[in-house]
């Protein structure tokens, strides 16, 4: 297995780029310092007593995390998509496939770029939290242990799922201008966002509970449900733990299957330079025996 070498290379060569350093460290730092300076000079701020008076409901945290996930994963996903299209166009892929398996190459790219993206998401989220706290109170005391454990898991797995769905688009299309309908695949996990108000209001609806087990929708639905549930029923009834566990399992399985499908499409597609896949071909390529 040379997967870790590919991950390391993809991660480091991305993290070392000037663009990444500016976007991840410099820009958030400038924003944080600027906001801090402004609030200090104008005397804006929140006193400690105000801060503790009104902790935000967890569903806000769930919603915010969901938003960060979808924006961050979108950026990483598009990056992975570009990287794969570039890999195919620069033809370096043939040299790579003479050394590593298509799986090591694809999974390495998605995970390596994903890790770089997660760092970026983390610095931005930390900056946003810092800035928000200058204007209003957002103590994290309303979060329980379950939140602390489940949110990061949904976040990371959801992140990988979305990134690999965009990678699939990159594997399937010839260049960035010829995506066609296949280009929309990456947006499937975003669909639950449209239903945010309904989910927050009524997180126990049967169809929601069922939809939560289907990987593309899992991260969006589950984070909102887990965030919203205690607020709705003050009896502190929680999303059943088995639902959480099962949905995490299906999500992890979904990530694996999606990455494998992407690998197959990539392997078949890369040997047919200059052709974009239709949905039907995508299905055919994804099931083709390659090794």
Partner 1 sequence: MQDTTSLTIQNISKTFDTVRAVQDVSFEARPGQILGLLGPNGAGKTTTIRMIMGIMQPDTGTIGFSFATSDPVSIRERVGYLPEERGLYGDAKIHDLLVYFAELKGVDRNDAKRRASAWIDRMDLSDWATKKVEKLSKGMQQKVQFIAAILHQPDLVILDEPFSGLDPVHQDVIKAFIAELRDDGMTVLLSSHQMNRVEELCDRIFLIHRGQRVLYGNLAEIKESFGDHVVHMRFDGDGSVLSTLPGVCEFTHSEGCADFVLSQEHAPDAFVRQLPADMTIRALHIDRPPLHDIFVKTIEGRIDETA
CB-neighbour burial class of residue 190 (10 A; exposed 0-12, middle 13-18, buried 19+)? middle
Q: Candidates 72-80, 92-100, 114-122, 278-286 — which segment interacts with partner 1 by CB under 8 A?
A: 92-100
Q: Candidates 9-17, 50-58, 68-76, 231-239 — which segment interacts with partner 1 by CB under 8 A?
A: 9-17
* Shortest reach from residue 91's CB to partner 1, in Å: 3
* Shortest reach from residue 22's CB to partner 1, in Å: 15
The residue written with tokens 């945290």 in the block is 61
Going by C-alpha positions, the residue among 258, 262, 257 that lies closest to residue 277 is 262
Tell me how crowded residue 115 is: count the other CB atoms within 10 A of its CB. 20
Q: Can you say whether the dihedral through the CA atoms of 239, 245, 250, 254 is positive or negative?
A: positive
In the DSSP assignment, the letter for residue 55 is P
Tell me how crowded residue 89 is: count the other CB atoms within 10 A of its CB. 14
- Maximum Cα–Cα distance across the chain: 66
Going by C-alpha positions, the residue among 67, 75, 54, 55 that lies closest to residue 223 is 67
Please give the residues from 231 up to 290 whose contact with partner 1 meets the rule CB under 8 A.
Answer: 271, 273, 290
Q: Are 32 and 116 in contact (CB under 8 A)?
A: no
Size of interface with partner 1, in residues (CB under 8 A): 21
* Shortest reach from residue 102's CB to partner 1, in Å: 9
92 near partner 1 (CB under 8 A):
yes
Q: Binder to partner 1 among 64, 79, 84, 93 (CB under 8 A)?
A: 93
Per-residue buried b or exposed e for 163-186, using 16+ beta carbons within 10 Å of the residue's own CB = bbbbbbbbbbbbeeeebeebbebb
The 14-33 site mask, x for binding partner 1 (CB under 8 A), equals: ---x----------------
91 near partner 1 (CB under 8 A):
yes
The 97-136 site mask, x for binding partner 1 (CB under 8 A), equals: xxxx------------------------------------
201 near partner 1 (CB under 8 A):
no
Residue placing its CB nearer to partner 1 in the complex, 9 or 190: 9
Chain residues that interact with partner 1, rule: CB under 8 A? 2, 5-6, 9, 13, 17, 90-100, 271, 273, 290-291
């Amino acid at each position: 297995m040379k997967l870790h070498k590919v991950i390391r290379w993809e991660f480091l060569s991305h993290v070392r780029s000037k663009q990444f350093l500016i976007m991840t460290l410099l820009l958030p730092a400038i924003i944080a310092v600027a906001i801090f300076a402004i609030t200090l000079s104008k005397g804006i701020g929140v006193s400690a007593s105000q801060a503790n008076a009104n902790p935000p409901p967890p569903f806000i945290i769930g919603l915010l995390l969901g938003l960060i996930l979808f924006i961050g994963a979108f950026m990483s996903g598009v990056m992975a998509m570009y990287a794969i299209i570039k890999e195919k166009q620069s033809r370096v892929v043939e040299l790579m496939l003479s050394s590593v398996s298509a799986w090591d190459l694809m999974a390495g790219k998605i995970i390596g770029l994903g890790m770089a993206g997660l760092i970026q998401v983390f610095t931005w989220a930390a900056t946003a939290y810092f800035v928000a706290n200058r204007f209003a109170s957002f103590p994290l005391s309303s979060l329980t242990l379950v939140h602390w454990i489940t949110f990061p898991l949904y976040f990371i797995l959801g992140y990988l799922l979305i990134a690999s769905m965009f990678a699939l688009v990159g594997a399937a299309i010839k260049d960035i201008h010829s995506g066609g309908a296949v280009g929309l695949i990456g947006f499937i996990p975003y669909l639950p966002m449209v239903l945010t108000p309904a989910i927050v209001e009524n997180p126990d609806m049967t169809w929601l509970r069922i939809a939560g087990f289907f990987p593309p929708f899992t991260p969006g639905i589950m984070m909102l449900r887990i965030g919203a549930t205690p607020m709705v029923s003050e009896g502190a009834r929680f999303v059943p733990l088995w639902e959480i566990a099962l949905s995490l399992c299906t999500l992890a399985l979904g990530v694996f299957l999606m990455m494998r499908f992407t690998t197959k499409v990539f392997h078949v597609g890369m040997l047919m330079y200059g052709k974009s896949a239709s949905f039907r071909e995508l299905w055919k390529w994804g099931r083709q025996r390659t090794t």
